[in-house]
Chains A and B, each alone.
Chain A
Amino acid sequence: MNLAPRLLYRTGLIAASAVVVLAFGCKHPPKALPPQPPAPAPAPARPTVTLQASPTSINKGDSSTLSWNSTDATQLTIEPEVGAVTAQGSTKVSPSESSTYKITASGPGGSASATATVTVNAPAPPPPPRQPSLDELFLKEVRDAYFDYDKAELRPDARAALSKTADFLKNYPQLRVTIEGHCDERGSTEYNLGLGDRRATAVKQFMVSLGVSADRLSTVSFGKEKPFCMESNESCWQQNRRGHFVKSN
């Protein structure tokens, strides 16, 4: 800024005031003075203005504070949406999309402007529908085979269940499984270990007949040592008479 014109302007005003005091402050009748040449009219200062946004980046629905300062302005306007404002101040804005605010300051000396941009972050895109994990698919799709008391032969419902299991395993050829043979509590520990072995083997052989490679299928018998259900009734016993699939890789 060039200070010279302002200094001249102020010096002129002081000089003018002195003239007025001299002219009217005395009891003495004024004496006629020779007319002074008028001080030269000072040039009006050009307005200045600043505008800041804090924060400059918001999420949709949040707000940012615009703050401004100005000098030598008689009229200030922030666009868009805010309108006329005072010489300095702040206001909250909540734009729905990224916006550049412009403050225009005008006064006798002209006009000035400043801008501040508030960036509205795009909302996080909705997560894409999650793919179930292989473990979850395994639990959902793989069906166990249930057996009659004392039997290691596959019932029709067991064959249907194993067909579904075989379809799943054929879709995931990298999967290896262990087939656990389980029994209810009524036979002896020793007999049930043998029976559980025969159940697991029966399940494996049926899976192989459905086209699942034998080298993907291991068998183990737990007899009655790892029951699924601990009560002594038929519904519980049925839960425990099964060939149970476990992912082994």
Chain B
Amino acid sequence: MSGAFNRCRLIFLCAFFSLTAQAALAQSEGWFRAGTGLGDTNKPRVAIADFAPRADSAKPHSSLFTQVVRDDLQFSGILEVPSPSFYPPEAPSVPAELKPAMWIDPPTNANFLGFGNVSESAAEVTIEAWLYDVRDPASQAVVGKVYRGAPTDLQVRKFAHQFADEIISKLSGGLPGIASTQIAFVSSRNGFKEIWVMDYDGSNQRQLTSLKSISLTPRWSPDASRIAFTCFAPSSGLTSAQICMYSMDTGKLVSFPRFRGTNITPAWSPDGTQIIFSSSMQGNPELYVSDINGGRPKRLTNVNGASMSPSWNPKTGQTVAFVSDRGGTPQLYLMNSDGTSATKLDLPDKGYVIDPAWAPNGQLLAFSWRRPNDNYDIYIMDAATRQLVELTRDQGRNERPSWAPDGRHLVFESTRGGTRQIWTMLADGSQPHQLTTGGHNESPNWSTR
């Protein structure tokens, strides 16, 4: 954990020259770990035994279930999964078979053990899954679930994500797991930039739109039932950038009014009743707020230069972060959600600052910053203290961070592998994980549930 954290580069808005670098690191760890939930250095060790197939026909799905649960727990960032190669040879398939001592001892050193069994017919798969505290064998199961559903890989993955989320929620004291969340993104792998979605681990990638033009900047509604995005659509005889709205329930576009000019970067209010977006409907690209059907657009900004890329504080609903080049180059600004009190977020260096994204806790702001003579990298700022952490460094162009609902993970786009692809990482910059490989993929947005 601390090794991963040392990879972050810390920058202070106020220059505490008297502090040594080590002291600065120690001081900043506190706010950062508290803000991201990555603070616990004593993570519980959770072993996941191989789930027992009740027949040969259940073997593929018991392996898949076991692997997905392990990956989800490993990815969570808040617990350790001991390497399966250290596990005892006998895995329990039901609680009566559990021998806790075998799992407590080195080298497994587990605090908790997940185990169970998988049976399968042509019509149905049944998975019994438990989590036990092996250090307190007299206790009840921490988690006990039976999952029944279609015997498909997709369904088994869903059950594994649900079981992992149960474990994470129980062991974190109620923090939401993200194993069942999805990521919307833009892919041009089929020739046009269209909106796609995938599971949070990169599986199950599928295309939502087929507009065959240019679709950009997807944003999930807070209830994950809709995706607002930037599209190119005809408006009074001219194809221009417009706001489009996709319904996950119907699998179709929902009508949204067309406005004059360039209309881009929709973002949702935390209660899901309003949309804030950039529009040049009255001449200059300014921020407007409307209801989610595009009704009664009201201008919030009125300055020289263009304003865009709003992010509405999901916790307070009071503050909107956005990008404006009113000062000559694109920089971050904060304003009240009624458009008042816009102030620039000063950074200790020049360059481009774009892509603001509020963390679910409403305290941390992730963004992309291209410092002079450098590439775009992803940073996190504490909005109250203006302290900064750099999460990526010297690995291509890294842009468009978006927070997972657990506040511990970020998804972003990076050119570090040569092409522009979508990656996740823990909010301290560790555990980078590539989700897409085919074609050109960008602009990820993590579903809020």
Contacts and interface: CB of A to CB of B under 8 A. Distances in A.
Interface stretch (B80-88, B249-257, B325-333): B325-333
Interface stretch (A22-30, A77-85, A136-144, A215-223): A215-223
Nearest to A193: B264
Interface in A17-51: none
B209 interface: no
B284 interface: yes
Nearest to B368: A188
Task: Give the bracket for the number of chain B residues in contact with chain A.
Answer: 35 or more
B352 A187 contact: yes
A190 B264 contact: yes
Contacts of A191: 306, 308-309, 323, 325, 330, 352, 354
Contacts of B285: 194, 197-198
B240 interface: yes
A220 B262 contact: yes
A189 B216 contact: yes
A201 B264 CA distance: 16
Interface in B291-342: 305-309, 323, 325, 328-330
A190 B264 CA distance: 7
Contacts, number: 88
A194 B262 contact: yes
Nearest to B236: A218
A124 B417 CA distance: 66
A191 to B, nearest CB: 5
Contacts of A207: none
Contacts of B265: 190, 193
Contacts of A219: 261
Nearest to B307: A194
A157 interface: no
A167 interface: no
B214 A225 contact: yes
Interface in A149-202: 150, 178, 187-191, 193-198, 201
A225 B399 CA distance: 17
Contact of A194 (B238, B283, B308): B308
Interface in B266-290: 278, 280, 283-285
Given A195-B325, A219-B261, A221-B262, A190 B308 contact: yes
Interface in A211-243: 218-222, 225
Given A191-B308, A191-B309, A193-B278, 6 more contacts: A187-B330, A194-B306, A195-B325, A198-B306, A220-B241, A221-B280
Interface of B: 193, 214, 216-217, 230, 237-241, 261-262, 264-265, 278, 280, 283-285, 305-309, 323, 325, 328-330, 352, 354-355, 368, 399-400, 442-443
Interface of A: 150, 178, 187-191, 193-198, 201, 218-222, 225, 248
Nearest 8 Cβ contacts at the A-B interface: A194-B306, A197-B262, A194-B285, A188-B354, A221-B262, A220-B240, A190-B309, A191-B330
